[in-house]
Amino acid sequence: PTELPLVLLLFGGTGDLAKRKLYPSLFNLFKKGYLQKHFAVIGTARHPLDDEKFQEVVRQSIAKNGTEGQVKEFAAHFRYSSHDVTDLKDYGKLKNMLAKLDKEFDAGGNRIFYMSVAPRFFGQIAQAIKSEGLMSDTGYNRLMVEKPFGTSYKTAEELQNQLESGFSDDQIFRIDHYLGKEMVQNIPAVRFGNPILDATWNKNYIKNVQVTLAEQLGVEERAGYYNTAGALLDMIQNHAFQIVGWLAMEKPSSFSDTDIRAAKNTVFSKLKMYDEREVVANFVRGQYGRGREVWQKSYTEEPNVPADSKNDTYVAGRLQFENDRWTGVPFYIRTGKRLAAKQTRVDIVYKKSSFDFGKFNQDKLSEPVLSILIDPVGGINFSLNGKNVTTEFETRSDLLKWSISDQDKVKTPDPYERMLHDAMNGDGSNFADWNGVSISWKFVDQIAKVWAEDKAPLEIYESATMGSVASDRLLAETGDRWIYRG
């Protein structure tokens, strides 16, 4: 591969994400040759640390993934700067370091600023990068920003304005790690790569679309954050919406990032916005109660969760797009913690054939279903009608199955590796853009408001089940049922 020279400035350089994801991902890009000699990484955090100790942190995070020689050579590209993101004076140091390392490593003036710090600092940092002259004028300047992108439409817009004061939208790479997942990226391959699917990807053939983001784990140690966010903000506003974007989008005029985003935005702008009554009719919330095992405590028994918390750990709902392609086709989305299994998937439910095979086949035809399995095991399932092995003519449903081989699994890049690589290439295809993010916030705000005012029931569901019964009712209302049942 061609080398992609740059200096990466990472705010939050000793944090958990850096150690668990970013350094191993950068190391993979190094081993593959996308990073060679012409790159440097500056890590910052508040506490003092020298370069040697910082490099030791980096080495430890990748030690298992390469030879001693590779690990050493890679870590030698890392520098540390103790930095207070709120203190403008501190940015001068970074400016000098950037210039110096750019020269030392001949990095072509390319810069990525990566914000892996508490979200309340994002806006301030972006403004300081601009005002304190950290940007280069010889190469590219790109900003990578972690989630959450705001906590409501209003706060997201404020953040967007702050980011925009320093960076144009094509320089901002909003990370949604679901967009970096192999099988999420497989959605457009399957849809646009097969005319039989592409041509039928609409209301004439599709009955409903289901997106399931089920988790087995509970809130773990993150109650401080999670109890203020809930499943709606933690998973629906971002991950579920981004997957729906790939599924519902119009066909892009080319596979470039601008055309992909435009095609997604066209459909997002046709999302039906709900008023209070429609929120109650189309969305349900739940919270996990105890399970059968002793360790399966209820959400309100978890450490640091207030006993009277009405936080949602489960959300299911129906999205509707009012356009030619989709009018009348519900997009069901659901997510929850402490469910029966970890299962991230999309199920496209096609309409049933109305062909009459005769009296022995009454009610035997099923709805064909195309399932794109995302996690924990990637794959594609297609259930089709075929003939049953009977004397009288009868049909039955059979399953065609493909799953990612162990070999492919080993080769699959981590979402962070892919996202870093895309940002270095300036490819925004797999990042969330402001227009989509703003629409999903406006939509989600309506739901959050109804729930904050306690105008909808909160169902307590048993841990290690598939969650709220109300969500089954929601689908039953329109003659549908969840394909994945745990």
Give the catalytic positions in this structure.
239
Q: Taking CB positions, which residue lies at the least distance from ligand BG6?
A: 234
Instruction: Label residue 25 exposed, middle or buried (CB < 10 Å: 0-12, 13-18, 19+).
Output: buried
User: What minimum distance in Å lies between the beta carbon of 274 and ligand BG6?
Assistant: 24
| Residues between 467 and 486 that touch ligand BG6 (CB under 6 A) | none
Residues in contact with ligand BG6, shown as a per-residue x/- string from 326 to 345 under the rule CB under 6 A: ------------------x-
Q: Which of 371, 397, 373, 374 is nearest to 382 (CA)?
A: 371
Beta bridge partners of 143: 113, 172
By CB under 6 A, how many residues form the interface with ligand BG6? 5
Least distance between ligand BG6 and beta carbon 218 (Å): 10
Q: Which is nearer to ligand BG6, 75 or 179 (CB)?
A: 179
The CB-of-36 to ligand BG6 minimum distance in angstroms stands at 30
Residue 429 CA to residue 148 CA, distance in Å, equals: 19
Distance between CA atoms of 313 and 33, rounded to whole angstroms? Answer: 42
CB of 181 to ligand BG6, least distance (A): 7
302 binds ligand BG6 (CB under 6 A): no
The two beta strands, 458-461 and 395-403, are unpaired
Q: Does 164 participate in binding ligand BG6 (rule CB under 6 A)? A: no
Does residue number 215 form part of the binding site for ligand BG6 (CB under 6 A)?
Answer: yes
Q: Which residue has the tokens 């003036």?
A: 109
> In 49-197, which ranges are E strands?
78-82, 111-115, 141-145, 172-174
Q: Which of 146, 182, 234, 312 binds ligand BG6 (CB under 6 A)?
A: 234
CA atoms lying within 13 Å on the CB side of residue 52:
0
Helices (H) and strands (E) in the chain, counts: 17, 15
Of the residues 90, 259, 278, 375, which one makes contact with ligand BG6 according to CB under 6 A = 375
Q: How far apart are the first and last CA of the chain?
A: 42
- Shortest gap between Cβ of 342 and ligand BG6 (angstroms)? 7
Chain centroid, CA 95 distance in Å: 32
Q: Identify whether 24 is preceded by a cis peptide bond (ω within 30 of 0).
A: no
Which is nearer to ligand BG6, 234 or 480 (by Cβ)? 234
Mark residues 179-198: x for contact with ligand BG6 by CB under 6 A, - for none: --------------------
**Residue placing its CB nearer to ligand BG6 in the complex, 234 or 367:** 234
Nearer to ligand BG6, 344 or 371 (CB): 344
HSE-up of 345 (CA within 13 Å, CB side)? 24
- Identity of residue 334: R
Q: How far is the CB of 375 from ligand BG6 (least distance, A)?
A: 6
Which residues contribute to the site for ligand BG6 (CB under 6 A)? Answer: 177, 215, 234, 344, 375
